[in-house]
Amino acid sequence: MKFIDEAKIYVKAGDGGRGCVSFRREKYVPHGGPDGGDGGKGGDVIIRASANRRTLLDYKYRQHHVAKHGGHGEGGKRTGRDAEDVEIVVPVGTTVRDSQTGELLADLTADGAVFIAAKGGIGGRGNARFATATRQTPRFAQPGIPGQDRWIDLELRLLADVGIIGLPNVGKSTFITKVSAARPKIADYPFTTLVPHLGVVQYGDQESFVIADIPGLIEGAHAGLGMGTRFLRHIERTAVLLHIIDISSETYESGWRDYELINRELELFSPDLLAKPQVVAIGKTDLTVTRERMKKDIDFFHKKGIELLTFSAATGEGIQNLLQELLLHIPPRRPPTDTGTDGAASQEQPE
């Protein structure tokens, strides 16, 4: 399945049905009064988050989502039928923004959370509603209220506890393969990872946590170079960042240089990312060249106040210590609370 994490769609709720102008016409009932019924409500356009969805692909190519109008009122005080709602199912972690203003309308972070993106119009009142002692034969009724419509931007931001960052080919995909059941593509060329991958990690008797592997960052990623700016948003929700450094490459200068380069890109993209706690680790310690170089980097980082961890995804050395350190930064999960609204966000019908 192609991974799509952005989509722009048009939503149009149904208009309310017209109220009816009608008068009773029955045998043996002289001077029958008004009996026009009300119009039905137009359908809403509802966005619902589902844990069974992984991508916004369905809405990349199907942009228009229009609900039906409410039924018109009829004689005999019969109310028009309410139109059915249109439901748009998106992955958990999807944000909804107004395309014109950029306003954040909803952040659907729970399975089953719903947001009414466009509210259907209320049906107009029939002439039976306007009968009074002084106006016994009203010959008018209300039209239905138009349903809301707008263009909205859907943006998926993965929900993970740990986000893995680093330059291309530092071993992020190999690490997530080692500690979880995720199986991203692994090769010895840059940008092997073209889409984010999620893996569930179980550490001993501790509660499991979710880890996200995003494509490697390069200098200028915040400005759109490489794969950076498109996927940096996926680590904005994480509790801690795992920063993996590779000192085995032929172009190696220093681990500190690579560390500063990545953090500069995080800061330029969003200062909030730089404020997140980071666990920094040197990978590929099974390689001789890494073992020869890592003491210098460990000492240098220590002088800067950062304790470097080391690990090998190939042999498993240091993995348990690394997971234990990550767990220290992941807050315990709280049981869900019942808000009484099923996590729904809504908006008022315009007058």
Per-10-residue mean pLDDT of the chain, 351 residues long, equals 73 97 81 90 96 84 94 94 96 92 92 95 95 90 96 86 85 82 47 60 71 68 49 80 89 87 85 89 92 92 93 90 89 51 40 36
Same domain for 135 and 248, yes or no, is: no
pLDDT at site 241: 92
Containing structural domain, residue 93: 6-156
**Domain of residue 116, CATH code:** 2.70.210.12
pLDDT at site 167: 83
pLDDT at site 108: 93
pLDDT at site 205: 62
In a domain? residue 215: yes
- Amino acid sitting at position 258: D
- Domain closes at, from 109, 135, 156: 156
Same domain for 108 and 70, yes or no, is: yes
pLDDT at site 142: 95
* Structural domains counted in the chain: 2
pLDDT at site 347: 39
In a domain? residue 81: yes
Q: How many Å apart are CA 255 and CA 57, to the nearest integer?
A: 38
pLDDT at site 348: 40
Same domain for 168 and 50, yes or no, is: no
pLDDT at site 303: 93
- Any idea what the Cα angle at residue 81 is, between residues 348 and 144, rounded to 5°? 50
pLDDT at site 212: 81
Same domain for 142 and 229, yes or no, is: no
Q: How many Å apart are CA 349 and CA 351, to the nearest integer?
A: 6
